[in-house]
Chains A and B, each alone.
Chain A
Amino acid sequence: MTAVQKHIWKRFSRKESLERYGIELVVLLFFLWATRSVDIYWPFIADAPHQAVDLVKRMLPPNFSFTGDIIPAMIETINIATLSTLFALILSFPIAVLNARNTTPHPTVQAIARVIVVTSRSVNELVWGLIFVVFFGPGAVAGIAALTMRSLGFMAKLVSESIEEIDHGQVEAIRATGANGAKVFLFGVLPQIMPTIMGTTIFRWDINIRQSSVIGLVGAGGIGILLTSSMNLFRWQNVSMILISIFVVVLAGEYVSASVRKKLI
């Protein structure tokens, strides 16, 4: 008699199972630690649905006659987004070139460029907004400066990565014709990174439309200023109208950016 071995199919071997349970346990412990120690007054939460319904009731119906005030603020918002994207494009280009391994003149220069990229990316646009409002006072100028600073690192990073990935054969070919450094860059490098530059710019413009509707909360211009003042005056029906228009503009921006990218690249 031979023992009939029972084969029961299982998704994971024992080792895999243990590993998975281990990871799940760690996640659970983190979650428990966080929920136990976070500073939340739990009885408030029982009341939360009631509060939410209350706020929504006060917001409805949206005040459509407020559109007249919204439109100029919205145009300013879009202008802030566009101008800051443009300035960021201009400023990020040299930084990208200095930051790329194969085009940087010196490792020290590359390190400096990297510091600019990292600082720009890891400081939120609202914080840049706070800083530039101190410099220029409240208004659109501070907003443009804030979004420019924030977009700079993002664009420089993506463009310099694309410079690092170019095909060196084309650069060699241009150099073999006896072209000088500037011409090698213009005819060997630039055409290869042009799609990335355009794509990144349009993508960043899309992001900046979203962000420029927010920076007004720290006084840096755009629709956010109108939103803050409406909220401080408890004009909830105006608030809901502003939210609706931000939603529409963001969606429109996404649509424009997607179709332009499809057309150009």
Chain B
Amino acid sequence: MSSSSSSTVWKRDHFIKNPFLRWTVIILVTAYVLYALNDMNLNWARMKSGLPRAVDFFHRMFPPDFSRWTMIQRGVLESLQMAIISTTISIILAVPLSLGAARNISVRWVYLLSRAFVVVARSFPPILVAIIFVKAFGFGPFPGILTLAFTALGFMGKLLGEAIENIDPGQVEAIRATGANWFKVQLYGVAPQVLPRYVGLSIYLLDINLRASTIIGIVGAGGIGGALFNAFHRYEYDTALAILIVIIAIVLVMEFISSKVRGRLQ
């Protein structure tokens, strides 16, 4: 046997095959992480002192205190109302927006305008939008509804717009060939092709909006989040846990319904 047999020793494939690229990525990522860890000034003494506070926190959290049930109920109801109103508004407005954001339907300046709106609406987290709207319009569910509708429109405009861009142009041509006007072409040529996607996205949107509506109250935009924030600030951690349990339950129920409906649509 010659020494060449050693070269046949099997080695597993690396995830990044190019060794130069692999090591560059590894070294860069490691260097950055070390820098970031150092820059954070992680104070171990302070982290250690957090431990007894965490234990104390859990002691005061249990058992959950549901005695403020009417307040919780009011907050949950408001979250639900906000989610329903904002979802309805955004799925209606999403129709013109996503037609505008589809390159194959709209004219150039409408397309650019719609896309710009989508990019802006999608880039900001809902809480950030909520805090601005609260400053502009005052506390309560109204800025909350605006927030949810705004971010939802960004989401719908992107996904539905892309769905419209991917339709089969043959069907649109066929309807146009019958002499149908613009609206009829959209209604009979475009709409049937994207309708299942539209309905699925609408349900998903309700799911997303309900989730967000339980949180944006933290900055004063209505819903159960405000009650949660107050409970934390009054150190009533048992009430906070009760509210959290209710929020988790609603979110899970909605997620279940939404995934069932979407599963049936496909």
Which residues of A are at the interface with B, using a C-beta cutoff of 8 A?
Answer: 11, 27, 30-31, 33-35, 37-41, 44-45, 48, 51-52, 54-55, 75-76, 79-80, 82-83, 86, 118-119, 122-124, 126-127, 130-131, 134-137, 140-141, 144, 187, 191, 194-195, 198, 210-211, 213-214, 217-218, 227, 231, 243, 246-247, 250-251, 254, 264
> In the bound complex, how far is the Cα of B39 from the Cα of A140, in angstroms?
11
Q: Which of B98-106, B107-115, B137-145, B162-170 contacts A (4 or more CB under 8 A)?
A: B137-145
In the complex, what residues of A have CB within 8 A of residue B138's CB? Answer: 44
In the complex, what residues of A have CB within 8 A of residue B13's CB? Answer: 191
> With A40-B141, A127-B244, A141-B42 known to touch, is A11 a contact of B119 (CB < 8 Å)?
no
Q: Is the interface of B mostly helix, strand, loop or mixed?
A: helix
Contact yes or no, B248 A38, CB < 8 A: no
Contact yes or no, A135 B54, CB < 8 A: yes
Contact yes or no, A40 B33, CB < 8 A: no
> In the bound complex, how far is the Cα of B247 from the Cα of A118, in angstroms?
13
Contact yes or no, A31 B141, CB < 8 A: no
Q: Which of B115-141 contact A (CB under 8 A)?
A: 119-120, 123-125, 127-128, 131-132, 135-138, 140-141
In the complex, what residues of A have CB within 8 A of residue B135's CB? Answer: 55, 231
Is B205 close to A, CB under 8 A? no
> In the bound complex, how far is the Cα of B132 from the Cα of A217, in angstroms?
12
Contact yes or no, B136 A55, CB < 8 A: yes
Taking the closest CB of chain A, its distance from the CB of B138, in whole angstroms, is: 7
> In the bound complex, how far is the Cα of B154 from the Cα of A250, in angstroms?
15
Is B40 close to A, CB under 8 A? yes
Q: Residue B40 contacts which of A54, A126, A140, A254 (CB distance < 8 angstroms)?
A: A140
> In the bound complex, how far is the Cα of B81 from the Cα of A27, in angstroms?
12
> With A30-B84, A83-B36, A251-B119 known to touch, is A246 a contact of B124 (CB < 8 Å)?
yes
> In the bound complex, how far is the Cα of B127 from the Cα of A31, in angstroms?
24
> In the bound complex, how far is the Cα of B51 from the Cα of A108, in angstroms?
28
Taking the closest CB of chain B, its distance from the CB of A8, in whole angstroms, is: 15
Q: Residue B50 contacts which of A54, A82, A135, A194 (CB distance < 8 angstroms)?
A: A135
Is B252 close to A, CB under 8 A? yes
Taking the closest CB of chain A, its distance from the CB of B180, in whole angstroms, is: 13
Is B69 close to A, CB under 8 A? no
New A-B pairs, 13, CB < 8 Å, besides A48-B142, A126-B218: A30-B84, A31-B85, A37-B77, A38-B145, A52-B136, A79-B39, A83-B36, A83-B37, A130-B232, A136-B46, A211-B125, A247-B120, A264-B16
Q: Is the interface of A mostly helix, strand, loop or mixed?
A: helix
Contact yes or no, A144 B81, CB < 8 A: no
> In the bound complex, how far is the Cα of B214 from the Cα of A127, in angstroms?
11
Number of A-B contacts (CB under 8 A): 147
What are 26 contact pairs spanning A and B, CB under 8 A?
Answer: A11-B192, A37-B81, A38-B78, A38-B82, A38-B141, A39-B78, A39-B222, A44-B138, A52-B136, A79-B40, A80-B40, A119-B248, A122-B248, A123-B248, A124-B211, A126-B127, A127-B228, A127-B244, A130-B229, A134-B57, A191-B15, A231-B135, A246-B128, A247-B120, A254-B123, A264-B15
Interface size class of B (residues with CB under 8 A): 35 or more
Which residues of B are at the interface with A, using a C-beta cutoff of 8 A?
Answer: 12-13, 15-16, 32-33, 36-37, 39-40, 42-43, 46-47, 50-51, 53-54, 57, 77-78, 80-82, 84-85, 88, 119-120, 123-125, 127-128, 131-132, 135-138, 140-142, 145, 188, 192, 211, 214-215, 218-219, 222, 228-229, 232, 244, 247-248, 251-252
> Of all chain B residues, which has the CB nearest A136?
B50
Contact yes or no, A126 B82, CB < 8 A: no
> In the bound complex, how far is the Cα of B33 from the Cα of A127, in angstroms?
26
> In the bound complex, how far is the Cα of B140 from the Cα of A57, in angstroms?
23
In the complex, what residues of A have CB within 8 A of residue B119's CB? Answer: 251
Contact yes or no, B140 A39, CB < 8 A: yes
Contact yes or no, A44 B137, CB < 8 A: yes
Q: Residue A141 contacts which of B47, B81, B132, B222 (CB distance < 8 angstroms)?
A: B47
> In the bound complex, how far is the Cα of B153 from the Cα of A79, in angstroms?
30
In the complex, what residues of A have CB within 8 A of residue B131's CB? Answer: 217, 227, 231
In the complex, what residues of A have CB within 8 A of residue B137's CB? Answer: 44, 48, 51-52
Contact yes or no, B85 A34, CB < 8 A: yes
Chain A CB within 10 Å — which of B53, B214, B218, B247 has the most?
Answer: B218
Contact yes or no, A198 B125, CB < 8 A: no
> With A11-B188, A231-B135 known to touch, is A79 a contact of B125 (CB < 8 Å)?
no
In the complex, what residues of B have CB within 8 A of residue A48's CB? Answer: 136-137, 142
Q: Residue A217 contacts which of B33, B85, B219 (CB distance < 8 angstroms)?
A: B219
